[in-house]
Amino acid sequence: MTDEPKRPEPPLTGDERTQLNGFLDFLRATVVWKCSGLTDEQARRQLVPSELTTIAGLLGHLTLAEQYWFSVVLDGQEDVWKEALEVDPDAEFRVAMQTPIEQLIAAYEAECERGRKVVTRMGLDDKVPFRGDREVNVRFVVTHMIEETGRHAGHFDLLRELTDGLTGE
């Protein structure tokens, strides 16, 4: 684990797509940085009252979020988590607690790459059906994932500092 993360800096200039994707990729890389170099035990360690709010659990959740919003919602692929989440709304957290951290990181990075490819094929104003008779556009999904990833990056900051003292933006 290095104290100097390898992350793409968000662009200071550029069109909307470039800047939105730049901020999302910066946050994605921050998540990977905060999860890297840990043992499985460290990644699963419960450091706050919620048993699900662990590095492993949150990484499983973000992987699901990437898969759902980009592959299922935007790309129309099958929701492979649907049945498991109907039985247990926190299934992705629980499955992640049984998965090696390196495997979780690889799965997250693979979902992020799939998401990038989906967004590349679409315009920000492109709309898709969403939960019945509603619609959602690509801009909403990318913006939502910036919010989702940024919120959880803050959780990772706290959990990583409590785990081994690593700090940094």
| pLDDT tens digits, one per residue of 38-67 | 999 999 999 999 999 999 999 999 999 999
Answer whether 53's CB lies under 8 Å from 158's CB: no
Please state the pTM of the whole predicted model. 0.94
The domain ranges of the chain are 40-124+132-164
Residue with tokens 């008779």: 133
One DSSP character per residue, 16-57 reads: HHHHHHHHHHHHHHHHHHHHTT--HHHHH---SS-TT-SHHH
C-alpha angle 152/52/59, rounded to 5°?
Answer: 45
Are the beta carbons of 135 and 129 closer than 8 angstroms? yes
pLDDT in tens, 64-94: 999 999 999 999 999 999 999 999 999 999 9
